[in-house]
Structure 1
Amino acid sequence: MAVPKGEPLVTWSHTRNRQPRTLANVRKSDGLLKLVGLCLLAGVLVAGLLFPVVGAAGVISNQASQTVDEMSSELADVPPPLVTRVTDRDGNQIASLYKQYRIPTASDEISDAMKWALVSIEDKRFYEHHGVDWKGTLRAAISNQTGGDTQGASTITQQYVKNYLINVVYRDSEVGQEKAQEQSIARKLKEARIAIQLETKMTKEQVLTGYLNVVEFSRQIFGVGAAAHAYFDTTAKELTVAQGALLAGMVNNPGQLDPWNHPEAAKERRNRVIDKMVENRKLAAEDGERIKDEPLGVVPDGPNKPASTCIGAGPENGFFCQYVLDYLKGKGLTEDQIFTGGWTIKTSMDQKANHEAKMSAQTQVKKDQENVANTLSLVKPGKKSREVIALVANRDYGTDPAKGQTVYGLPSGIYNMTGAGSSYKMFTAAAAMKEGKAGIHDMVPAPSRHVSNVFTSGQKPGCPQVGQGTWAYCVTNNEGSEFDSEITLQTALQRSPNTSFVILEERAGMGAVVDMASKLGLRNTMASNLAGAKPNPDSDNYGLQVSQKQFFGPKENSPGQGSFTLGVSPVSGLELANVAATIMSGGVWCPPNPILEITDRSGEPIPIKTEPCEQAVDEGLANTLAVGMSKDHEPGGTAAKAAADVGWDRPMIGKTGTTQINGSAAFIGATPQLAGAAMVFRPDYPNGGLQDRGVGNVVAVPPDEGTMFGGRTPARTWYGAMDKILDGEPKPPLPGADPKYERMN
């Protein structure tokens, strides 16, 4: 791209602030003082650029030279912030994360029209100088020093340096950005030094391309590749003269020349660029006049660019994207690394599964139903990894509460403060088996009422006081439920009598029960319930080791209290799903992991350290517990109707749960291929209090006209999704029970 010879032009951008010459100004610049001052100034500037190395000044200049060399190397070698892509497991993009929307564009991917438009308006002598336009620089320095108009006279190379400092090096520092733009001889001198050094390391085309990739075009849009897409829905290669001229004109003042907010100023500036292209013989005059009459041609209603956060993942995939961010931050990665690294984050999300889960959740509970969340979390069993497959809620992911939207991680975080109900009975069953107190085919008591020797610090109506401020824990079965005086543990898991499991708590010991919940998968859940500390059964205050996160205080829902088996503590739906996966994986616990692979902008892998999988409980115990939990969907089970509604015929494990006053409900279930947990709860608590805490009589879809139970909405959510997700898949059997854990009495 040869440039014709000619005198450099003073562009509009360099003269727009020119002030009229007054008598005072004329007098100031008259006489011998002006001549001497200008000579001295020119001498200082040239001397500085030549890096004199003499005496003490030489030491300073050497240091300056080293700094400049390091900076020019950084400009030449370090790329600017890029967009990070988040994809599903098949590589389909679901979100873009960025602080600067930028599409890297090579030189041969930028149209000549764009390049000539920029050179014509910003630096006509670009292909002739070596980084600094001496005449323009001296003119600007003299004008600034003598009180004339403030001029930049910067070459494209110098502007590249300045824009790199502002948009890359100091992008998060207002002080640094101000310093990079200050009108001073010192700043211009440093900028000129770096520009000269830079052109010893980069060709002209590399400098021009680098500039066009780093410069801002307003509204978080940086670089010509992103600008072409955002402004004209095209590529940098296809930019026309009119389009290139608009963008070239904007770099001077992106905010004031925004074509949507200031269309008249943008068009005037664009046409000024076209005139310069004609003057510089890069465009025929008749073509220039014709093009100047064209409309701006930008996309309607603002720039066409993706959302910069997980909002871009949409109402359906946003919860998964948010969990990915939370997960990576938990691994020590910073938001700046994630949002500027230009990474590709390949997640474990299955879009089909996520979609079916979302449809089922919002079918059962309307997305805009006030203060009711219905979540579903799905993970894949396995002994070497634990891939998270889907995370959804009836609510949409978004920022408009009036539409029921939220950006809180309802399916993954600990947002269900009222608990998962009787699903916690599986922990008591597992602890009783581990402690040798009952096998799945052993008989356990099922009285209609039981006074437990596991005490509570809060008074419970009808229970005797056993000490100062301490009452016995009294429990009854659900109203209308009738049981034989004794039933097998397997039947107890299927029909869920409260009294049986409180009695098993006494026999196994509270320490064993609480520890089992943590072992099988409630790691973060239990840490939050216990203020981040591991439960200590030997503590005198064991039953009161509760976090302030628990809204009810250290009373009925305290780990260590008799009500623990009834699931009244805060809980994560994702971790409940992982419990089911641990049981289905022969007792091997693995941390939930939403990441398959992360690669950097060069395609190199970024390792993420994860906790190793561990044999949490004996494999025989886990397999036998799975057999014990295999009857909930069969006739007589608490989820039988929900299973029958979809014609369920797969081997599986399941457990329903409902808290007191129907405050929340849950269903946890798994097949050998997929495990999941559905929960219905109130996520919003006015003033952080207890009022209106119960879900109560949620009428999700007919015929669900009774009070909320785990076998209703949560179970229907689980079965509605899983039936479609697993359609056409094999129906493998459950693992066989270990005789060691079938009978102990």
Structure 2
Amino acid sequence: MFDEHRTPGGVLGGFIGLVIVSAMAGVLVTAGIAPVLAVTGMAATNTITVFENLPDYVAIDQLAQKSNIYATEANGTKVLLASFYDQNRVEVPFDSMSQYVKDAAVAGEDPRFFEHSGVDLQGTVRATVKTAAGGQTQGGSSITQQYVKNVLVQKCEAIADARKHDACYFAATETTPERKLKEMRLAIGVEKRYSKNEILRQYLNITGFGGTVYGIEAAANYYYGTTAAKVTLPQAASLVAIVNNPVKFQLDYPTGASNGTANGYAANRERRDYILTEMYKQDKITRAAYTEAVATPVEPKITEPSTGCQSAGSSAYFCDYVTKKLLNDPVFGEDAEERRLKFRRGGYNVFSTLDLDLQRAAITAMNKNIPKVFARGDVGGVISSVQVGTGRVLAMVQNKDYSQDPAVQAKGRNYTGINYNTDYTEGGSSGFQPGSTYKVFTLAEWLKEGHTLNERSDTRRKSNWGTFRDSCLGPQNYDSQGFNPRNDQNESGSNYSALQATIGSINTGFIGMAKKLDLCGIRKTAESFGVHRANGKPLDQGASSVIGTNEIAPLTMAVAFAGIANRGTTCSPVAIDRVVGVDGTEIPVPKTTCKRSLDPKLIAGMTYAMQRVMTNGTAQQSYADTSPRVPMIGKTGTTDGAKDTWMSGATTKVATVVGVVAVTGTLNQRQFSFDSGYAATARHRMWPAVMSVANAKYGGGSFPEASGSVIGKVEAPKPKPTPKPAIPKPAAPKPDATPSKPKPEAPPAEPEPATPPVEKPKPDQNGRGKNPKGG
């Protein structure tokens, strides 16, 4: 520990701090600052007045530090996902700095630091004389003065407005007597309020070490892969050497930067050896230590800091989602720039909701089943899991490598910065058609409007569906619009009940159900479960939307299925559990908002049907391959031409949505395979892999029993009409009979289903379009 006692010589050397209140202030201050002003011609009397009227104090404020995002293991261990910063700094206490670092700083930058009271008069005179004599510009600033200058610059860096920032920076760094006077006055004030050790600690934490590296801890990490407490003597001197001229002496370039801005290891070594010599002269190191240190070559071990979501690997897209929350949510600041500064400079420790067990299962399932690059087209794979009842996002994975760098993205289709799982504002995706997974909202409206599961509808395939009720937009007629959706497996769909249509995912069954419902009501029911289009536009509510033609983010569908599993209470997604400031203070975070979406009695009818989908319907493969098995609900989806395939489901604890999608263009998943198997069934290989881990970890309870009034009586299928006997061809009319009109020729059969004429969406990054076919 340094001796903070000031000698009589130190008192004399630090006289400026004492004479402010002295009767001899005019004489002494003029003597002290005259060398600085000699070349300017400023009058001494004016100088004294200016000096005494300057502010005399600058606070040791919180420094800008990097923020970290963590996930938590089941045993409570925190796992760093990524760090973010404008200035790479980790502030450390005084006893976490090597004595070599402290001695090197004093020896190299301010040998009389422990003797003066903020301003080193001798150093100032020497520097001014050399500058006035035409030599190189000399600083002559004490460590305290350098600290003051850094504080003033840091205050400027916190200003969001570019014009105000630049003006502030100029005022803090301009080479003028007035600025030097202010720096002196503030340095004296700092010395009155803080101990020498505290000033040295903050100086070593605040000062720049080249590029975005600030503070001795980050410098030790970056240049030598160690800590400030563990640096060796030559390393400490080499790091402190950088402080004198960060551009000239930084250690990123062995032989100097190609643009000539850095001189490489040789320049750093020259400055390092000067510092070692001064340390030896001041008896801070032995001769043996000095000799060994100067003989040591400059050999940095550049350790790039883990920065940005790309360092989060396969969890990068979840990391990106968390950053969007930090940058977009008003909880973290009134405007975007304030939120950015707080996040990039505030030293946040962000503890996310990510469940690493589920995340690893999702990563493994994705890597095993969906290639990053596929020769036949741009295929995307997505997995989102949400905790039921809390909205906590537990897993988020896609099959691409993450990068926000256009140059990296250009290297291949395996890179993208777009998060396929989230809304456009939270990652850049415009969403995907969910296909028949969207049918659950028509089922909800069906029960809400008083129909039962066993009630039947006219579900025949036809091109004259007639008029649909719409309480928002008015009646919608589909007689002459070519609206003729078919079923995924070409089922006849003649007379299905709502339960049968759900179990078998019958398109015409749900169109028939919608014919008895309010189209606007279906849309509103979907919205009550948190469903919205990924691009922010209103949900379409036409007849085709019933079978899943709105573009929706997978995470949104996971939230909706969690709402169904939560007895009809839907909770908005959250990705952050806690944020702790650098001082240990808890910072408020966005909370989930839970709302009632549907009466629990009606939800019981939905889950009754959706459990049958798992055990007897289109999701049997996912059900069979999940172990351990608890009660589960689900719904499959296949868009037209098997371009996108989905498996969405939940237990009473966790909801998961898995999808394989065409990112751009059109691919029929029933016409090719991946290495893992048939492309169209990859969803049924991934969903059980994730949910098996979820079931083992979280378990799952029974869904509520559906009442008889919701299930309804089993209705017998309507018999097919008995064909009428053939009518004999009438004889030729008598001459006075009216000739019969010829029967019009039947129209040609429609080749394939067509959508109603709706506005075609503009092409987006996912190449989505409308299509009425879903499976």
TM-score, reference length from structure 1? 0.80
Counterpart of 1:212, as a letter, is L
Q: Deviations over 1:368-424 (max 9, x none)?
A: 335211101000111xx3211111112233354335122322222353644011111
Q: Paired residue for 1:444?
A: 457
- How many residues are aligned here? 646
| Aligned 8 A contact 1:163 1:214 in 2 | yes
Counterpart of 1:373, as a letter, is G
SS at match of 2:383: strand
Unaligned ranges ≥5, structure 2 = 11-34, 160-164, 254-263, 333-338, 470-476, 716-775
Q: Deviations over 1:150-172 (max 9, x none)?
A: 22110001111112233453366
Q: Paired residue for 1:562?
A: 543
Cα separation, partners in 2 of 1:50 and 1:417, compared to 1, 3 Å: closer
Alignment of 1:181-260 (within 5 A): 181-260=173-252
Q: Paired residue for 2:481?
A: 471
Alignment of 1:90-105 (within 5 A): 90=76, 91-105=78-92
Cα separation, partners in 2 of 1:428 and 1:37, compared to 1, 3 Å: closer
Alignment of 1:97-246 (within 5 A): 97-141=84-128, 144=131, 149-170=136-157, 173-246=165-238
Aligned equivalents of 1:275 and 1:36: distance in 2? 32
Structure 1 residue 693 displacement after superposition: 7.5
Aligned equivalents of 1:171 and 1:103: distance in 2? 17
Q: Paired residue for 2:678?
A: 704
Alignment of 1:95-494 (within 5 A): 95-141=82-128, 144=131, 149-170=136-157, 173-261=165-253, 262-299=264-301, 302-307=302-307, 309-314=308-313, 316-332=314-330, 333=332, 334-369=339-374, 371-382=378-389, 385-399=390-404, 400-401=408-409, 402=411, 404-414=414-424, 415=429, 417-436=431-450, 438-449=451-462, 451-453=464-466, 471=481, 473-483=483-493, 485-494=494-503
Aligned equivalents of 1:43 and 1:136: distance in 2? 20
Counterpart of 2:537, as a letter, is N
Aligned equivalents of 2:610 and 2:656: distance in 1? 14
| Aligned 8 A contact 2:432 2:553 in 1 | no
Alignment of 1:616-631 (within 5 A): 616-631=597-612
2:658 counterpart of 1:659: no
SS at match of 2:464: strand
Counterpart of 1:673, as a letter, is K
Aligned equivalents of 1:397 and 1:592: distance in 2? 22
Aligned equivalents of 1:425 and 1:648: distance in 2? 28
| Aligned 8 A contact 2:670 2:678 in 1 | no
| Aligned 8 A contact 2:36 2:177 in 1 | no
| Aligned 8 A contact 1:653 1:670 in 2 | yes
Counterpart of 1:419, as a letter, is Q
Counterpart of 1:732, as a letter, is G
Structure 1 residue 321 displacement after superposition: 1.2
Aligned equivalents of 2:7 and 2:449: distance in 1? 92
Aligned equivalents of 1:336 and 1:698: distance in 2? 48
| Aligned 8 A contact 1:455 1:473 in 2 | no
| Aligned 8 A contact 1:161 1:194 in 2 | yes
Match of 2:565 among 584, 590, 593: 584
Match of 1:572 among 532, 553, 558: 553
Cα separation, partners in 2 of 1:658 and 1:295, compared to 1, 3 Å: same
Counterpart of 1:313, as a letter, is A
2:537 counterpart of 1:529: yes
| Aligned 8 A contact 2:396 2:421 in 1 | yes
| Aligned 8 A contact 2:468 2:518 in 1 | no
| Aligned 8 A contact 1:165 1:180 in 2 | yes
SS at match of 1:218: coil
Match of 1:82 among 65, 79, 95: 65
| Aligned 8 A contact 1:583 1:623 in 2 | no
Structure 1 residue 673 displacement after superposition: 1.5
Cα separation, partners in 2 of 1:127 and 1:645, compared to 1, 3 Å: same
Q: Paired residue for 1:19?
A: none
Q: Deviations over 1:214-257 (max 9, x none)?
A: 11112322111121222222221222221110011001122221
Counterpart of 2:509, as a letter, is S
Aligned equivalents of 1:619 and 1:450: distance in 2? 37
Aligned equivalents of 1:503 and 1:443: distance in 2? 9
Deviates more, 1:91-100 or 1:214-223: 91-100
Q: Paired residue for 1:495?
A: 504
Cα separation, partners in 2 of 1:50 and 1:175, compared to 1, 3 Å: closer
Aligned equivalents of 2:584 and 2:356: distance in 1? 24
Whichever of the two has the greater Rg, that structure is 2
SS at match of 1:238: coil
Cα separation, partners in 2 of 1:6 and 1:264, compared to 1, 3 Å: farther
Counterpart of 1:264, as a letter, is A
Q: Deviations over 1:644-663 (max 9, x none)?
A: 34567432111111111223
Structure 1 residue 179 displacement after superposition: 3.4
| Aligned 8 A contact 1:391 1:412 in 2 | no
Unaligned ranges ≥5, structure 1 = 9-33, 52-60, 457-463, 536-558, 685-690
| Aligned 8 A contact 1:377 1:577 in 2 | yes
| Aligned 8 A contact 2:317 2:397 in 1 | yes
Aligned equivalents of 2:151 and 2:495: distance in 1? 77
